[in-house]
């Protein structure tokens, strides 16, 4: 039963397992599912394991059980176009109404959602060169848009329905918002950075070591000798180097700020430095890059187990990276080229990563990114990227 439904779900990219499908069959056999509405809810709970897929599920369900068309790419484009048209309508209603050849007053009665749907239908009609007069607003109850419309396929679209059918619910596509990845928030960063810790004993002796206690007690011939240990706590040292200068980083500053905020209250031993574009002889502890500077060569005094995290878009003119004295600042005359400084860092510290707020797809176009990737492993500043970076930082070698 419903095998094609199962394959439809799989084809649309929902990871549905056969086990869960069999489980659904069991629920059916047990009589736990009484109606299509019930089936909609139960099948989703059993088959779909993330709210990200709920939207696709809704579409497949509507397609499978009511024969509503699955949107292909063309339709997505069309719906984008309808949205644009809606924006346009808000700015210039007369123009849009005239272009569609309808009365402006009729359109004004619709809610924005209805309008969007209406526009979508209009665009579809026009692309299919199919002008059915009975689809225009105001000509009668057969219009698909509006409160008691009858769709040619027999499907209710929009409007307030008393008996909310499952396919209707599916068609609402309530979960559309969940299918997209949102921006990184502080708590998500925390989620990703949680693994970034190294537990070592520290603090007062306040934890009983049972094994040692038993051993010592036996050694004392049964006279109790309780052995205390220090508690394990996180002593990971982290140096965060942030590119905070230049227009090229401007779009990413909120993102970097979030990471920065988070790291500041997460780690006890965290040093943050700033640089512009790439690292020359010095990095600065103040964001203005003016007062407290530190020589990169002094970093050799630090614990080699320190984790180095560099955040920057790694995009600059090639000479800034490769030339001696390549800094774009007059008065900053470095003896070594920046790439040598970067190599120095990566050789001194075993655990370094470079986080790039720019999307992975934009990397290949930039020459300096390629060069820096030869020195540091580079990760995107996204949840997945952070995950990768953290596991690299915590790996043993």
Partner 1 sequence: MVQDDFYKFRGADKYVLDDELAEIVNVSMALEMPLLLKGEPGTGKTMLAYAIAESLGMPLIILNVKSSMKLVDALYQYDTLTRLNDSRFSDSIRDVSNIEEYIKMGKIGQAFVSDTRTVLLIDEIDKADTDFQDDMLDVLDQMEFDIMEIDKTISAKNRPVIIITSNAKKDLSDPFLGRCNFHHIAFPEEDTMRKIIGVHFPDLGREIMDACIKTFYGLRKLEGIEKKPATRELINWIRALKADPDFKLSLLEQGNVPYLGVLYKKSPDMKVANEAIARNRE
Binding site for partner 1 (CB under 8 A): 15, 17, 19-20, 23, 26-27, 30-33, 38, 41-42, 44-46, 48-52, 54, 174-175, 178, 182, 185-186, 188, 191-192, 194, 208, 210, 213-214, 217, 222-224, 383
Helix H or strand E encompassing 22: helix 18-29
| Residue closer to partner 1, measured from CB, 1 or 41 | 41
Angle between helices 253-266 and 186-193 (to 10 degrees): 60
Distances (CA, A) of 106 to 116, 126, 146, 256: 14, 20, 11, 48
C-beta of 25 vs 139, nearer to partner 1:
25
Least distance to partner 1, CB of residue 17, Å: 6
Nearer to partner 1, 250 or 298 (CB): 250
To the nearest whole angstrom, how small is the minimum distance from the Cβ of residue 108 to partner 1?
23
Angle at 348 between CA 322 and CA 298, to 5 degrees: 85
Q: At what angle do helices 54-66 and 3-11 cross, to 10 degrees?
A: 140
Closer to partner 1 by Cβ: residue 127 or 257:
257
In the complex with partner 1, which residue's Cβ is closer, 178 or 319? 178
Minimum distance, C-beta of residue 110 to partner 1, in the bound complex (Å)? 21
CA angle, 93 then 96 then 97, to 5° = 80
| Closest to partner 1 by CB, 262 or 363 | 262
Kindly provide the b/e burial profile for residues 60-98, where b requires at least 16 CB atoms within 10 angstroms of the residue's own CB.
Answer: bbbbbbbebeeeeeeeeebbeebeebbeebeeeeeebbe
Compute the least distance from the CB of residue 200 to partner 1, in Å: 15
CB of 27 to partner 1, least distance (A): 6
Nearer to partner 1, 40 or 349 (CB): 40
CB of 151 to partner 1, least distance (A): 24
Q: Say if residues 252 and 259 touch (Cβ distance below 8 Å).
A: no
309 closest CA partner among 359, 379, 383: 379
Phi, psi at residue 393, to the nearest 5°? -65, -30
Structure tokens given for 4: 């094609």
Q: Which is nearer to partner 1, 261 or 370 (CB)?
A: 261
Give the shortest CB-172-to-partner 1 separation in angstroms. Answer: 11
CB of 15 to partner 1, least distance (A): 7
Q: For partner 1, which is the closer residue by CB, 50 or 92? A: 50
For the chain, helix, strand, coil in percent to 5 are 50, 15, 35
Q: What residues contact 246, with CB distance under 8 A and at least 6 apart? A: 276, 277
The burial class, CB within 10 Å (0-12 / 13-18 / 19+), for 280 is: buried
- Rounded least distance, CB 30 to partner 1, Å: 6
Which CB atom, from 204 or from 222, has the smaller least distance to partner 1? 222
**In sequence order, what E strands does 187-292 have?**
199-208, 228-234, 237-243, 269-275, 282-284
For residue 318, give both structure tokens. 């090639």
Shortest reach from residue 32's CB to partner 1, in Å: 5
Question: Residue 116 has which token pair?
Answer: 């969007």
């Amino acid at each position: 039963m419903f095998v094609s439904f199962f394959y439809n779900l799989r084809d649309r990219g929902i990871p549905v397992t056969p086990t869960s499908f069999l489980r659904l069959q069991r629920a059916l056999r047990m009589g736990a599912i009484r109606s299509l509405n019930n089936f909609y809810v139960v099948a989703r709970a059993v088959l779909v394991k993330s709210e990200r897929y709920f939207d696709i599920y809704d579409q497949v369900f509507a397609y499978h059980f009511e024969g509503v068309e699955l949107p292909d790419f063309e339709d997505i484009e069309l719906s984008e176009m309808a949205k644009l048209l809606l924006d346009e309508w808000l700015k210039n209603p007369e123009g849009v109404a005239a272009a569609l050849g309808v009365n402006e007053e009729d359109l004004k009665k619709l809610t924005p959602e209805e309008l969007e749907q209406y526009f979508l239908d209009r665009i579809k009609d026009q692309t299919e060169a199919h002008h059915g007069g009975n689809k225009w607003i105001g000509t009668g109850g057969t219009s698909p848009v509006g409160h008691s419309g009858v769709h040619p396929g027999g499907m209710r679209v929009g409007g307030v329905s008393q008996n909310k059918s499952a396919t209707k619910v599916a068609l609402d596509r309530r979960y559309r918002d969940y299918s997209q990845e949102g921006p990184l928030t502080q708590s998500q960063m925390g989620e990703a950075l949680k693994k970034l810790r190294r537990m070592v004993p520290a603090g007062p002796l306040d934890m009983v070591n049972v094994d040692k206690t038993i051993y010592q007690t036996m050694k004392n011939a049964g006279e109790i000798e309780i052995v205390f240990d220090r508690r394990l706590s996180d002593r990971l040292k982290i140096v965060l180097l942030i590119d905070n200068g230049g227009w090229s980083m401007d779009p990413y500053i909120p993102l970097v700020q979030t990471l920065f905020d988070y790291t500041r209250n997460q780690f006890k031993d965290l040093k943050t430095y700033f640089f512009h574009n790439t690292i020359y002889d010095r990095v600065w502890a103040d964001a203005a890059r003016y007062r407290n500077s530190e020589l990169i060569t002094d970093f050799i005094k630090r614990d080699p187990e320190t984790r180095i995290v560099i955040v920057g878009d790694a995009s600059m003119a090639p000479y800034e990276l490769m030339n001696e004295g390549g800094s774009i600042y007059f008065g900053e005359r470095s003896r070594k080229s920046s790439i040598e400084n970067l190599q120095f860092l990566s050789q001194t510290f075993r655990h370094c990563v470079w986080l790039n707020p720019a999307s992975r797809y934009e990397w290949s176009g930039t020459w300096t990114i390629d060069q820096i990737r030869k020195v540091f492993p580079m990760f995107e500043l996204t949840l997945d990227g952070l995950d990768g970076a953290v596991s690299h930082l915590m790996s043993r070698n």
